[in-house]
């Protein structure tokens, strides 16, 4: 994971240097966030530890094109040390996570003057509802942190927009299926509550998830 992060950062630096050499600037922004939570009852156990570096990049390499990316580099969770050998593994002591939230390119006036195309991993938010929005159903939910309810994952696909005067026709095609992320931390057991049946004792309980077929017909969706 650390090698992957170093390679990604190195690639971004080389890409930025190449773009700057051509006289086209890249705009960086983002934030640094730390989130630590402690339980008020019992022995005041720590329940959440997250240290997040958010990096966003905007670039217009050519006329009528725009590139956007959002990357999370973070440590999430606590050291999971089981024996002395684990003390030599930095991934166990300080678990590091790399999350590419979005990475897409916009092509404006593509083929037609009133036609725009977006290709890549993107967050497609449809509708105007806040947090609970029944029409915002293309991107899977990211319920990792229930206190950040309403968060979605980005999906790999294409978004096409055709503008007709005061109206717009938008089509989204997502060829790959990505399941939603369930809660972790204190809320990890919310989906696995104990089942109690009168007169019966459940000794073993197993579950299985039925995934769609990994092909264009079974996994893709459009809106």
Q: How far is CA 59 from the centre of its chain?
A: 21
Query: Residue 21's pLDDT is what?
Result: 40
Phi, psi of 50 (to 5 degrees): -140, 135
Query: Tens digit of pLDDT for each residue in 148-207?
Result: 888 999 999 999 999 999 999 999 999 999 999 998 877 777 766 666 777 777 777 777
Reference 73, options 12, 161, 155; nearest CA is: 12
Q: Where are the alpha helices (DSSP H) in the chain?
A: 2-21, 90-93, 216-219
206 contact partners, CB below 8 Å, separation of at least 6: none
pTM: 0.80
182 to 56, 142, 201: CA distances (angstroms): 25, 7, 27
Reference 70, options 81, 55, 60, 58; nearest CA is: 55
């Amino acid at each position: 994971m650390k090698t992957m992060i170093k390679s990604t950062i190195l690639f971004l630096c080389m890409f930025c240097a190449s773009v700057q050499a051509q006289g086209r600037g890249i705009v960086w922004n983002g934030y640094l966030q730390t989130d630590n939570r402690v339980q008020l009852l019992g022995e005041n156990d720590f329940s959440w530890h997250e240290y997040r570096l958010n990096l966003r990049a905007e670039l217009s390499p050519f006329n009528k094109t725009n590139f956007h990316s959002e990357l999370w580099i973070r440590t999430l969770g606590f050291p999971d040390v089981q024996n002395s050998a684990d003390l030599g593994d930095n991934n166990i002591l300080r678990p590091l996570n790399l999350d590419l939230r979005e990475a897409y390119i916009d092509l404006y006036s593509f083929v037609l003057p009133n036609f725009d195309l977006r290709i890549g991993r993107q967050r497609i938010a449809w509708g105007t509802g806040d947090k609970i929005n029944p029409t915002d159903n293309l991107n899977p939910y990211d319920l990792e942190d229930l206190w950040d309810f309403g968060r979605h994952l980005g999906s790999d696909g294409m978004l096409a927009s055709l503008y007709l005067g005061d109206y717009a026709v938008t089509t989204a095609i997502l060829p790959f299926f990505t399941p939603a992320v369930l809660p972790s931390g204190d809320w990890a057991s919310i989906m696995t509550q104990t089942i109690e049946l009168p007169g019966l004792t459940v000794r073993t309980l197993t579950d299985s998830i039925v995934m769609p077929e990994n092909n264009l017909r079974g996994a893709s969706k459009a809106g």
